[in-house]
Structure 1
Amino acid sequence: MTPRLGKAPSSLSVLSTLCGVTALLLGTGCGGPTGSSGTADHPSPLRSQRSLVWKGCPLPGQPGRRCTTVKVPVDPADAGGPRLGIAVSRLPASDRSRLIGALVWNPGGPGISGAYVPAAQLPPELGKRFDLIGFDPRGSGRSAAVPACGEAAAVAEALEGGKRAAAAAAARTYAGTCTKKLGAMAGHLGTRSVAEDLDAIRAALGEEKLSLLMGSYGTLLGQQYLAAHPHRVRAVVLDGTMDPAVQGVRAALDASGSAQDKAYTSGGPEEKARQQLQSMLSGFTLWCRDGGARCPVSADPVGRALTAGGHQDKGRKEVLAAAAAGGYVPARWPELARALDAAAHGDRAGLRTLADKGFPEQLRAEAGSTLDLGYNLGVYCTDFAWPGTPNAIADAFHTADKESSFTAADYLPCAAWPGRGRPLGKITAPASAPRPLVINGTHDPRTGIASARAVARRLDAKLVTFTGRTHIATTGGVECAQRAVARFLVSGSLVSGSTEPLPTCG
């Protein structure tokens, strides 16, 4: 769930990161098992249409990664109309003999380039048993990125000056100018369209069913796909869950930062370093704990990293740089473990060596976001319910938060945006649909626990909560949640043949 432009660059960067990729370390803030798609007991090979052309697109830690483009209609209801290309990646499962099928990752945003799947942050079992599929949602990244519209400065100036009529006129002008620039895509950037793109990806891959791992804003996609194509879903995890039934004003305020950002970034330097290290070392920690003697810091990897950082800024920066360099490349994990262990005994040479290697530049380039206001409006104005006029939108913002005029200015154009009028609302799924697993922190600053509970009730889902503020636990290093996600996705169901219950978080 990405904060809007113009609020505070630091909060924009931090929360983009927490939607599942790598921004914390980029220097910006820091249903049951199915037939032919395969199950844990009856794996099947990956099938892909001959029309897809796969090319190697390796990344550090992902030498076997391949990429392709799937063509989809701009308007899902007009299959014969103009088409656009969706950038898709595939990281083949490492244990081909026990392949379950395709697992699609979406980090949220909206607008985060999801073609990079941060496999090193995920529970290792997922990369062993699934082909990990990522894609850039339409209008973002390499999927026909829409042109930038910039900020609605005239709307903000008029609204903050109390000139309601001028603000309304400026909002309509902005909407008209921006939607003309975006063209046919303007009214087709919402989650309903992306869900149809996802089904086109499934068909192009040749998969009868997909497993889904959806984070933050991506949880709306998971819910919509489950509702629209329940027979195409093997299992779905919603991590950091948004409620599509909230009004647009509420969704916008939750995404805008302010108090939520302060809550997330509260605490001293050591607490902030802990939050960053927990995310950076998300996969490393699981590997380390399960590795026994091969990992000398297995008792408490994050704790040992904090100790190695010490109480001075210089030491913390050094250990954060080493974690950024090593945490995302599994081949570097043994070196990172030795370096952390040596640092605890006064030898910091290993940390310095890793820090000098730096965060892989290729990953930095892959972890981009489309954060223009016009793109965001194309999603939010379509997905949520809004009052019918700019003035009514302004009134609703003022009622919800008297200090929200800056945020309100961004969303006044929703009154004139094409494609609005069919909000997602309370998404439900047929009784035959698989029951999702919903993951959420008790104090998540982006997706509150109330939203997770509402969605879990609506979809008859299993809800796993954990105490804390981490947003997207699967890539955020919340171990109990990670293990629950891995077991659920591998088994494919809450009521699978396994007699072991899902891990719980206290």
Structure 2
Amino acid sequence: MPCRKRPAAVLGAAALTLLLGACAGQTAGQTGGQAAGQAGGQAGGQAGGQAGGRTGAAGALQAGQQPASRGTGLDRFYGQKLEFKPCDPHVPPGVPAVKAECARLKVPLDYQNPKGRQAEIAVLRVPARGKDPIGSLVLNPGGPGFPGTEHAAVTAAVWAKSPITERFDLVGFDPRGVGASTPVLDCYTDAERDRGAKLSSIPAGIDDWTKQETRRLVEQCAERSGGMQVLAHVGTRDVARDMDVLRQALGDEKLTYTGSSYGTRLGAVYAEMFPKKVRALVLDGAFDPYAGTYERRVQQATGMQASFEHMAASCATQQKQDCPLGTDPKRATQVFQKLVRPLIDKPARTSDGRGLTYEQAVEGVTAALYSKALWPAAITGIAELKAGKGDTLLKLRDTYHGRTTDGGYPNSLEATMTINCLDEERHTPKQETALNRAWFKAAPFTDPGRPFKEARDGCEQWPVRPTLGYPYATGIKGLPDTLTVSVTADPATPHEGGINLAKALGGSLLTVEGEQHGALLAGNACVNDAVAAYLIDLKSPADGARCKL
């Protein structure tokens, strides 16, 4: 019987940042467990790449051309009423519970065949605190592949005194294939995940995919997820259409939305497909709509290496001779490589007996690079490696993957891989090999140092071509002002991408000086005030507006 993943608690990058602000009294080590996959599962969960390429893909529309809704067999979906009932959403320890209500939204699995198979989208709403609500604020935490229901509950708790929660119902949804929505994407069993099931071609040189294995991967994902048809209809354009059905079902004439990390891509694609249905979009930690898969991942690797080096410099300054990465930040990468590369052949011991592998150690450190508050946890874990122990880094890795105490995994990173198979450019072995080499050159702290002849794109045998297309969300007509929030030293989504997204949408840009992934939920008064003014009063920041974390 196929293993169905439970909708376990998972925090994306935005939620991680949010939780750090909410739980400021906790130690970095305690909070370190909240490092879930970011911006598309950045370092560990990216198996993507697609065949469509930069010239567009099947299913993409010309800018400003809205998909049909009424009179095309979609009336019954757009005409449905959500039946909300009280529910008890899971929130992480330390986050206050909120009163929420849940419902399920029906959508066609294939919008070209609305009479065919359906999907059901899990929806959670936290009603506005005030008596004069503007409407719904729909949220997406990123990923792709992270559930929005829990994200809405956590956001409502942290924004408990914000004017935003006074004027808006906060609405989160688990995108098709994710979390509590059905059908759910499922490629590996929990035991396979514990054994290090591959979610990406990176790092090449360790247990690389063969052509036969990539074929088995797609067959296995299809078998456990409900068929090839499911794998063919979980891309961002599918989710954008679901979001428009959700908007109508919520009773909102136009969409008010905040998206973090990958959520900026979803918001931008919605704007491209439904520009006349947009009221306001806040896009935090932006995906660059002009950057194809190769360029974006190399940019990302560069940002991760810079963050690693900054962490090493901080360690050298604060701990001096006790810093496990040494006193010379320029040599920190070499020191780290000497500590982690032996794990390829002999994992470090852990108290639970599982051991810490090379890939898990790198994932644990990478997870901590998304926020300075997690650096101490990573440094502690690196210091443990010198004694042959791997408990702290394994904990960081486990929470990056959303692993529960009983060994269960949510489907989030498997969904990341699967959704990326419809969003990213598909690579030939030659292209994927070049990407791996470029990644290791840009982020040598992740390089296992093993020779490899060929890397393969895990999506190379996917049943359909990609459906996103690059560039996207450009030349849109009739779009109201949008707000892109971009951190200057974001390790996962470079500031340049925020600048480019704001330009592509013809919208406003709020530049935030700092070093972390995203700023929307960081508890910064300057950012909070600017976002609230935009969402509530549609008042955009002045040109050149800046905040500082």
> 1:75 and 1:19 mapped to 2: Cα distance?
35
Among 127, 130, 134, the alignment partner of 1:100 is 134
Are 2:440 and 1:401 equivalent residues in the alignment? Answer: yes
Provide the secondary structure at the position in 1 that maps to 2:239: helix
Describe how 1:439-450 pairs up with structure 2 within 5 A.
439-450=485-496
Give the corresponding residue for 1:275: none
* SS of residue paired to 1:412: coil
Match of 1:172 in 2: 215
Provide closer, same or farther for how the CA distance between residues 16 and 463 of structure 1 changes in structure 2, counting only shifts above 3 A.
closer
**Contact 1:87 1:115 survives alignment (8 Å):** yes
Structure 2 counterpart of 1:331 = none
> Could you say if the C-alpha distance between residues 138 and 168 of structure 1 is closer, same or farther in structure 2, counting changes exceeding 3 Å?
same
What one-letter code is carried by the residue in structure 2 that aligns with 1:83? Answer: Q
Cα drift, residue 153 of structure 1: 5.0
Say whether residues 1:54 and 2:84 are aligned partners. Answer: yes
Cα contact 2:254–2:277 (8 A) shared by 1: yes
Q: 1:64 to 1:174 in 2, by over 3 A?
A: closer
The structure where helix makes up a greater share of residues is 1
- The answer to whether residue 174 in structure 2 is matched with residue 136 in structure 1 is yes
Q: Structure 1 length as normaliser, TM-score? A: 0.65
The size of the alignment, in residue pairs, is: 380
Q: Mapping of 1:40-189 within 5 angstroms? A: 51-58=81-88, 61=96, 63-97=98-132, 99-116=133-150, 117=152, 118-122=155-159, 124-144=162-182, 145-149=184-188, 150=193, 160=205, 167-182=210-225, 183=227, 184-189=229-234
Gaps of 5+ in 1: 1-11, 31-47, 273-312, 314-363
Give me the TM-score of the superposition, normalised by structure 2.
0.60
CA distance in 1, matches of 2:248, 2:199: 45
* Distance 1:201-1:13 versus aligned 2 partners, 3 A rule: closer
Is 1:231 the counterpart of 2:276 in the alignment? yes
CA 265–172 in structure 1, closer or farther in 2 if over 3 Å, else same: farther
Aligned to 1:282: none
- The DSSP-based 3-state class of the residue aligned with 1:418 is coil
Residue type at the aligned position of 1:207 = D
Describe the superposition over 1:348-398 as per-residue Cα deviations: whole angstroms up to 9, x where unpaired: xxxxxxxxxxxxxxxx99xx98456542222112112233x2333223332
Match of 1:18 in 2: 16
1:118-137 Cα shifts (integer Å, max 9, x gaps): 12334701100111111111
2:145·2:419 contact (CA, 8 Å) conserved in 1?
A: no
Gap change, CA 1:80 and 1:487, over 3 Å in 2: same
Please give the alpha-carbon distance, in whole angstroms, between the structure 1 residues aligned to 2:79 and 2:246. 10
Report the CA distance between 1:78 and its aligned residue: 1.9
- Distance 1:261-1:443 versus aligned 2 partners, 3 A rule: closer
Q: Which residue of 1 aligns with 2:235?
A: 190
RMSD: 4.0
Residue aligned with 1:137, SS: coil
Letter in 1 for 2:478: S
| More displaced 10-residue stretch of structure 1: 84-93 or 250-259 | 250-259
- Could you tell me the percent identity over the aligned residues? 29
Look up the SS of the partner of 1:430 in the other structure: coil
* TM-aligned CA deviation for residue 247 of structure 1: 2.1
Pair 56,241 (structure 1): closer, same or farther in 2 beyond 3 Å: same
Which stretch shifts more, 186-195 or 144-153? Answer: 144-153
Task: Report 1:196-211 matches (<5 A).
Answer: 196-211=241-256
Q: Given residue 222 of structure 2, which amino acid in structure 1 is its aligned partner?
A: T
Which one-letter code corresponds to 1:448 in the other structure? P
2 CA distance for matches of 1:16 and 1:126? 17
Amino acid corresponding to residue 124 of structure 2 in structure 1: S
Contact 2:502 2:508 in 1 (8 A): yes
Residue 493 of structure 1: how far off its partner (Å): 4.9
